[in-house]
Homo-oligomer: A and B are copies of this chain.
Amino acid sequence: MKRTYIILFLISFSFSIFAQNRLVKYAKPIIGTEKMGHTYPGATVPFGAVQLSPDTDTIPYAYQGKYTGSVYQYCAGYQYNDPTIVGFSHTHFSGTGHSDLGDFLIMPTVGKLQLNPGTADYPENGYRSKFSHRTEIAEPNYYKVELEDDHIKAELTTTTRVGFHQYTFPKSNQAHIILDLMHGIYNYEEKNVWTFVRIENDSTVVGYRETSGWARTRTLYFAMKFSKPFKSYGSKNYSPKVPYRGFWGKFDQTENFPDLAGKQLRLYFDFDTEEGEKIDIKFALSPVSTKNALENMAKETPNWDFNQVKQEGQNLWEKEFEKIQVKMLSDADMVNFYTAMYHAFLSPTVYMDVNHEYKGLDQNVHQATDFTNYTTFSLWDTYRALHPLFNLIQPERNNDMVHSMIAHYDQSALHMLPVWSNSANDDWCMSGYHSVAVIADAMMKDTYTGNAKHALEACIATATHRSYENIGDYIDKGYIPSEKNGTSVSTTLEYAFDDWCIAQLAKKLNRQDIYETFLKRSENWKNVFDSNIKFMRPKLEDGSFKKDFDVLQTDGQGFIEGNAWNYSLFVPQDPNGLIKLMGGSKKFVPHLDSLFTMHLPDQFFEHTEDITRDGIIGNYVHGNEPAHHVAYLYDWTNQPWKTQSTVRMIIKKQYHNGADGLGGNDDCGQMSAWYIFSALGFYPVAPSSNQYALGSPAVVSATVQLGRGKILKVSTKNQADENVFVKNVYFNGKKLDKPFLSDEEMASGGELVFEMSSKHP
Binding site for B on A (CB under 8 A): 67, 186, 188-191, 193-194, 196, 198-200, 206, 208, 210, 212-214, 216-217, 241-245, 247-248, 250-252, 256-259, 261, 289-291, 362-365, 412-414, 419-420, 427-430, 467-469
Contacts and interface: CB of A to CB of B under 8 A. Distances in A.
A217 B261 contact: yes
Contacts of A251: 428, 467-469
Nearest to A292: B364
A250 B290 contact: no
A412 B427 CA distance: 36
A214 B244 contact: yes
Contact of A429 (B247, B420, B468): B247
A712 B430 CA distance: 75
A469 B191 CA distance: 35
Contact of A290 (B193, B363, B430): B363
A188 B243 contact: yes
A248 B428 contact: yes
A286 to B, nearest CB: 11
| For the complex of A and B, 7 pairs with smallest distance between CB atoms | A247-B428, A259-B413, A198-B413, A250-B469, A258-B413, A190-B241, A291-B364
Nearest to A414: B259
B258 A414 contact: yes
A545 B117 CA distance: 49
Given A216-B248, A217-B196, A243 B362 contact: no
Given A67-B244, A198-B413, A365-B365, 6 more contacts: A188-B244, A190-B241, A193-B210, A216-B245, A247-B420, A251-B467
Contacts of A217: 194, 196, 261
Most buried by B among A196, A216, A257, A468: A216
A283 to B, nearest CB: 18
Contacts of A252: 467
13 contacts: A188-B243, A194-B194, A194-B217, A210-B210, A216-B245, A217-B261, A245-B427, A247-B428, A247-B430, A250-B468, A250-B469, A251-B469, A258-B414
Most buried by B among A186, A190, A198, A259: A259
Contacts of A247: 419-420, 427-430
A191 B243 CA distance: 6
A216 B190 CA distance: 18
A199 to B, nearest CB: 7
A99 B468 CA distance: 43
